[in-house]
Structure 1
Amino acid sequence: MTRDELLKLHQHLCNNAQMLMSKKNHDYSGGENQSDPFLNFTRVEKLGITDTKRGFMVRMTDKISRLITFLDTGEYKVADEKIEDTVLDLINYSVLLYGYIQDEKESKG
């Protein structure tokens, strides 16, 4: 793969990740009328499970575990799950975590 091909792949993955985040964020944050993009993540804190930032890390760790299994076995048993899906989820969780931290900083002023 050339550098240009890698950069095109990066753009492709980021575009797909953004489209996926838009759809999933709608579903997980309460639909059209909700404005909290972190709603499903902050619920772990409200339920007393862990703090929100660690909740992000738990979900990212789940995806990393899937990638490790894929690297070890070369396959996913869930037929409609592909390595790209796991990578897109990791991209989105990273962006969401970063956004949450930025929002937290701005709220504290």
Structure 2
Amino acid sequence: MTRKEFEKRLKKINSNLCIITDCQLKPVGILLTDDTGNATRTVFDLMKGIWHEGDNYLSLTEHDELRNLLRDSCAFLKGTHLFGDSDLKDLTPDNLFKDYTDHLAKTLQEKNTAYGDSFTESVKKFGLTVIPIRLSDKFNRVCELTKRGELKENDESLEDTLLDLAGYSILGLKYLKEHENK
């Protein structure tokens, strides 16, 4: 794939996407412009191999298409160093779980900020059995939702429940790590 082909595919995803360059005209990122061509947001840093998401200026479809373009171009980008010596590991197939783990980390942080470290406090108060109890509650909910073929019950979906299961597992690991010498 040539740079021209890359830019053409980029424009197909969103006509406001373009490559940004440094002072030596070496591409360093992908930028989203407004309809007049003014820069609005750096979407992807090609030098660091990281996304600049946040306000979600791209639709989910556009984001997936851009991720696929970068994945398709990964060998080319690394092989020619067209975009520098960036670490593009976030684009390679061995990191298909990153979006999920990033979402989980964000959710855990938000809940920990909102509720305090209630999980740790519960374990301190009632012991390690809190870990399997919380996991068991969520597992039972998953079983019920799938048995009934429902993806949502009241305000909690199957997706939310699976995220909670993973979250409680991480909280359990965090507790064990923080208290391993006690």
Structure 2 length-normalised TM: 0.44
User: How far apart are 1:21 and its partner, in Å?
Assistant: 0.3
Q: Residue in 1 aligned with 2:121?
A: 42
Would you say how many aligned residue pairs link Structure 1 and Structure 2? 89
Q: Deviations over 1:22-41 (max 9, x none)?
A: 11111221xxxxxxx4x444
Over aligned residue pairs, what C-alpha RMSD do you find? 2.1
Shift in alpha-carbon separation, 1:84–1:22, aligned structure 2, 3 A: same
Q: Deviations over 1:81-100 (max 9, x none)?
A: 22211111111111110111
| Alpha-carbon distance in 2 for matches of 1:89, 1:21 | 9
State, as a whole percentage, how many aligned pairs show the same letter.
27
Q: Is 1:90 the counterpart of 2:149 in the alignment?
A: no
**If each structure's strand is expressed as a fraction of its own residues, which one has the higher value?**
2
Q: Which has the larger radius of gyration?
A: 2
- Specify every segment of 5 or more residues in structure 1 that has no aligned partner in the other structure, as ranges: 30-36
Q: Residue in 1 aligned with 2:153?
A: 77
Q: Residue in 1 aligned with 2:109?
A: 22
**If each structure's helix is expressed as a fraction of its own residues, which one has the higher value?**
1
User: How far apart are 1:67 and its partner, in Å?
Assistant: 0.5
Which has the higher relative contact order, 1 or 2, with Cα contacts under 8 A spaced 6 or more apart? 1
User: How far apart are 1:74 and its partner, in Å?
Assistant: 1.1
Q: Residue in 1 aligned with 2:133?
A: 58
